Structure 1
Amino acid sequence: MVVCRSGESTATTRPRLTPAALARRAAGLARGERLTVIGLTRDGVGEALAAGEVDRAALLVATEDPRSSAAVIDRLLDDLAELALARWPDWRDDAAPDVSASDVSAPWRKAAATAAASGRPPRFRRMARALECGQLLRAVDPGSVILVAEVDPVSPARARAVIEALEWCAGHGAACLFALPAEPPDTPPYDRILYGAVAIGRAKAPVAERFIAPRSRAHPASESERRVEAALAGDPELAGLFAGNELVAVAGHGRQPRVDLVCRRHRIVVEIDGPEHQASPKFGQDRHRDYELLVAGYLVLRLTNDEVAADLQRAVEKIRAVVRLRRLPSTHLSFAGDTTR
């Protein structure tokens, strides 16, 4: 466990847990125990607990307007009463064999059941907060609820109200988890919860898993490429077959061609040409590229910008015809009038 001394930087020395390890650690918190995690919001902790399938009830505490610790506690008791109403009649006298009289007092359970039966949350404001908190926590989950609250790392005033509220809850039987999105200074009131704090960390992932590719791979300056790409993506037969603006390996050690659209499964290349492709030297360079792709096993279909602009669906049908041709077994391929077989 790390001891946090005043003024000491602990960002690099705190124990680091993955979200899955955090969920396991939280599941083991006993009544009255506390844990502070740095690097996650309240909702982030909730996601980690849900993903870890923790066999404990957890409540994400509402702290949007922490005017005072009393206000946070009152809002929490309101929420617990709503939860108790939702879980009734699980804790009714004859419906909760796992909830003994030592867990929920008989007088409170009787009054709460009466309120719940009429559709009212079992919240009794004349009752001492400490007693009410203990009864509601046990009604919601006899195994002890994990209360998860977010602490503002830059506003000591807002943080103090939340910290004091959860400290009070821990003193009355709740397991409490303080979520700090960022490392706060080791000064009051944060110093009260930083002892034994852990930081969230993740295993280093390969760069390919950390890269988020753009949705469109078409050349940003080519409207025709973007239109064809979108049309293919929305076609039930052709969707997922073509990737845009990719390199294709050809023989030799020269520059590898980057093509407009490629279907690697059926070894098809679709090029969409603007008017500059009709003149030298571009025209000759394209013919040589087609040769290189052909030798590499790719069938090249060339469309023009004007063709795409005039009739996009006709352009898509040409691509479909080539795909269907390449899907045929080679023994079935023949040309009309071919009598050489």
Structure 2
Amino acid sequence: MDATPPSRPASWPRLAPEILAQRIVGLTRGARLTVLGLGPDGIGDILDEIPERSCGALLVAGEDRSTAVILDRVLDDLADLVLAGWPPDDPGASAPIASLDPWRKAAAKCVRAGLAPRFRRMARDLEFARLLGAVEPAGPILVWEVDPASGARAAPVIEALEWCARHGAANVATLCVPPPPVAPYDRILYGAVELARPPRAAGARFIAPATGAHHASAAEQRVAAALARDADLAGLFLCNAPVPVGPWGARPRVDLLCPAHRIVVELDGPEHRAEPKFGADRHRDFTLLTSGYLVLRLTNAQIAADLPLAIEKIRAVVDLRRRPRGETSR
């Protein structure tokens, strides 16, 4: 008789995106939630169901590493966030700082020097608590990608997640498919939920063959329609168009291309906030820039919130390119 345990129970609780978003933002310090059927990049889409949420989320770059290395990376990431978000009017950003506690005084000194406040001789649990609270009062939610197929690769990530939970962080473990209920997965499967995915229409699953607005991008379709209605900008931009760049003739496909003025407009969804897409976007921008293209990036959230403002930003870039070289704006 085959004694292999089943890969999953009869059913996991299935939650609609808006309900799952509420569960995630409602996590308290030290709490954990395991989400099946979703990768870490998808958490951004889920959290966008609550646009005015008061908590942030950090996608942890776990990869195939030891627990200690993963935790060090988490501390490095939190320190980078503290450096980027240190309030300019905080007394730690300028003198006097004598009244600050020792950690904040040292952190302020680092910030003034343009350095992330990372102190490797400090006890890891104490530094974690200070960095977590410095990013946000309640600390950001840590989002982990757990490999569902390799227990050896999953184990250090799960151990790091458990350590962070013990030391006050709210955590979300994501697995693209349900794993077998054996070690080490059995440590995170209690209370797991699945994302309930509504069926997608054919248009959302269709990959456009030409340079029209991408069928799956509502933001791109809205911007393309607005540009077509604008007397000044109509006809200038191609959608979903290839751009010849680089010494080897590479042709990356961009969201909006203005060939006449060598302008590229990219419309970024939440998945562009984290690696590997974030790094790939920076490299693409570099390639386009060194090939003579001006790149403007807008987020889907900005377009949804204020489409006219997005169009005016595009117009400003076009006007910049139209202006004779050496002429300054008034």
Q: TM-score range by the shorter chain?
A: 0.5 to 0.7
Sort the Cα spacing of 1:16 and 1:115 in 2 relative to 1 into closer, same or farther, 3 A.
same
Query: Gapped runs of 5+ residues in structure 1?
Result: 1-5, 96-100, 217-234, 240-341
Which residue of structure 1 aligns with residue 19 of structure 2? 21
Give the Cα–Cα distance (whole angstroms) in 2 for the partners of residues 209 and 18 of structure 1. 21
Which residue of structure 1 aligns with residue 141 of structure 2? 146
Write the deviation string for residues 5-49 of structure 1: whole angstroms up to 9, x where unpaired: x92453551111122221111000000000000011111112222
Give the Cα–Cα distance (whole angstroms) in 1 for the partners of residues 14 and 103 of structure 2. 42
Shift of 1:144: 2.3
Give the Cα–Cα distance (whole angstroms) in 1 for the partners of residues 122 and 61 of structure 2. 22
Give the Cα–Cα distance (whole angstroms) in 1 for the partners of residues 165 and 50 of structure 2. 23
Which residue of structure 1 aligns with residue 112 of structure 2? 117
Give the Cα–Cα distance (whole angstroms) in 1 for the partners of residues 66 and 140 of structure 2. 22
Give the Cα–Cα distance (whole angstroms) in 2 for the partners of residues 93 and 172 of structure 1. 27
Give the Cα–Cα distance (whole angstroms) in 2 for the partners of residues 141 and 210 of structure 1. 36
1:84 paired residue among 82, 85, 106: 82
Give the Cα–Cα distance (whole angstroms) in 1 for the partners of residues 45 and 82 of structure 2. 23
Give the Cα–Cα distance (whole angstroms) in 1 for the partners of residues 75 and 207 of structure 2. 46
Sort the Cα spacing of 1:47 and 1:112 in 2 relative to 1 into closer, same or farther, 3 A.
same
Does the 8 Å contact 1:88/1:116 carry over to 2? yes
Task: Describe how 1:87-236 pairs up with structure 2 within 5 A.
Answer: 87-89=85-87, 92-93=90-91, 106-204=101-199, 207=201, 212=206, 215=209
Give the Cα–Cα distance (whole angstroms) in 1 for the partners of residues 148 and 205 of structure 2. 30
Shift of 1:155: 1.1
Give the Cα–Cα distance (whole angstroms) in 2 for the partners of residues 127 and 7 of structure 1. 44
Give the Cα–Cα distance (whole angstroms) in 1 for the partners of residues 182 and 82 of structure 2. 37
Which residue of structure 1 aligns with residue 56 of structure 2? 57
TM-score norm. by structure 2 comes to 0.57
Give the Cα–Cα distance (whole angstroms) in 2 for the partners of residues 15 and 88 of structure 1. 40
Write the deviation string for residues 154-197 of structure 1: whole angstroms up to 9, x where unpaired: 11111011110011011111000000011111111000000000
Does the 8 Å contact 1:37/1:178 carry over to 2? yes
Write the deviation string for residues 93-123 of structure 1: whole angstroms up to 9, x where unpaired: 479xxxxx9xxx8221111111111111110
Shift of 1:150: 0.2
Sort the Cα spacing of 1:203 and 1:180 in 2 relative to 1 into closer, same or farther, 3 A.
same
Does the 8 Å contact 2:7/2:178 carry over to 1? no
Give the Cα–Cα distance (whole angstroms) in 2 for the partners of residues 215 and 88 of structure 1. 46
Which residue of structure 2 aligns with residue 45 of structure 1? 43
State percent identity of aligned pairs: 52
- Letter of the 1:147 partner, please give it: L
Sort the Cα spacing of 1:117 and 1:166 in 2 relative to 1 into closer, same or farther, 3 A.
same
Q: Secondary structure at the match of 2:157?
A: helix
Sort the Cα spacing of 1:141 and 1:211 in 2 relative to 1 into closer, same or farther, 3 A.
closer
Shift of 1:72: 0.3
Write the deviation string for residues 35-92 of structure 1: whole angstroms up to 9, x where unpaired: 000011111112222343232111001113x321100000110010011011113694
Give the Cα–Cα distance (whole angstroms) in 1 for the partners of residues 206 and 9 of structure 2. 28
Which residue of structure 2 aligns with residue 31 of structure 1? 29
Query: Gapped runs of 5+ residues in structure 2?
Result: 94-98, 211-233, 239-330
Does the 8 Å contact 2:92/2:104 carry over to 1? no
TM-score norm. by structure 1 comes to 0.55
Shift of 1:133: 0.2
- Letter of the 1:20 partner, please give it: E
Give the Cα–Cα distance (whole angstroms) in 2 for the partners of residues 90 and 30 of structure 1. 29
